[in-house]
Amino acid sequence: MSEIRVNKLKDEGGTGAPILTYGIEVPVGYGITGAGGVNVSGACTATAGFVGNITGDASGSSGSCTGNAATATLATNASGLTGSPNITINNLVGVAATFSGVVTYEDVTNVDSVGIVTARGGFEIGAAGVGGTITSVGNAEFAGITTAGGGFRATTGGVEVTAGGLTITAGESYFGGGLSEKATIVANKLSAAANIDVSTGNVWYFSTNETTTGTPNLRWDGSTTLASKLATGDSVSVSIISKPNGAGYYAQMTIDGVAQTEEWNGGSAPAAANAGGYDITTYQILKTGSGTTDYIVLANVSNFA
């Protein structure tokens, strides 16, 4: 075997690199080193892989990359990816990403959308919809309790509760079981606490003996008028249970602080207090217009002793 020892190799003219007709073979344990670069027009094959940083754009390739680049660092953006390659990554961050076609992704922990979320096929809650479903045509079914803090509104079809026997349709209401109404119990007398907040109930009981006359003031609550809750043609009934004690009766009432004209059963307002027992004063109110006194107030007082 011959051995040639030289410092530099040049072509015959001394101005370029020599042509290695059959290439170059580097023994095991050695490599090609230096501060220059390696430029080839053919393929680079590294059986053991590439070590070090890979920089620049990988573009213009119609083939594919195979194998593991376990120790390589992609230092710049990958651009010019065309065709239909399969890409596997750990994290995808897109400042303004647009996807066309069908996007399928499972096991999403959280979805945070600042815009509209559209599900053309509906929603399923829980595995295979065991918790509830919302179909694409608007039907909803939930396995647990449904709570709506702002209430329910049915524009045309009404509300139906099959298990509890409640059906509210556009034109009628049906209760299949027992019906109870909330009453508000006040540890005071009406003459000292005259506001009747209909939002808490339509039946009010004042448990303290009356000592003087009083004027009930009907309102929705402390910040909302009853007028704002009633449309023209709406009606509401309010009953007040009190202990007259020979001193208390209510000959006048107000709605939202405005005095109304009552139509009393029997033709006249009470002018004296009953001796004892319980008085129940009932107001059947019908709103007839938008004014503060546009009401028909049918009033009645009965004593139970």
CA distance linking residue 287 with residue 68, whole number of Å: 80
Query: Which token pair is 256?
Result: 């939202």
Q: Which amino acid is at 28?
A: V
> For 2-51, how does the pLDDT look when each residue is reduced to its tens digit (9 = 90+)?
777 888 888 888 888 888 888 888 888 788 888 877 787 878 787 777 77
Structure-token match 């006048």, residue found: 252
What is the DSSP pairing of strand 217-219 with strand 254-255?
Answer: parallel
Mean pLDDT value across the chain: 84
What is the DSSP secondary structure assignment for residue 221, as one 8-state letter? B
pLDDT score for 69: 46
For the chain, what are the domain ranges? 123-175, 183-304
CA distance linking residue 30 with residue 14, whole number of Å: 27
Which run of H or E residues covers position 52?
strand 52-54
> For 221-255, how does the pLDDT look when each residue is reduced to its tens digit (9 = 90+)?
999 999 999 999 999 999 999 999 999 999 999 99
Nearest to 160 by CA among 173, 149, 150, 147: 173
pLDDT score for 77: 57
Question: For every residue of 125-192, which 3-state class applies, written as one string?
Answer: ECHHHCCEEECCCCCEEECCCCCCCCCCCCCCCCEEECCCCEEECCCCEEECCCCCCCEEEECCCHHH
Residues 238, 197: contact at Cβ < 8 Å? Answer: no
pLDDT higher for 291 or 37? 291
In this model, does residue 179 exceed pLDDT 50? yes
pLDDT score for 240: 98
Phi, psi of 127 (to 5 degrees): -65, 120
State the CB neighbour count (10 A cutoff) for residue 304. Answer: 9
pLDDT score for 70: 43
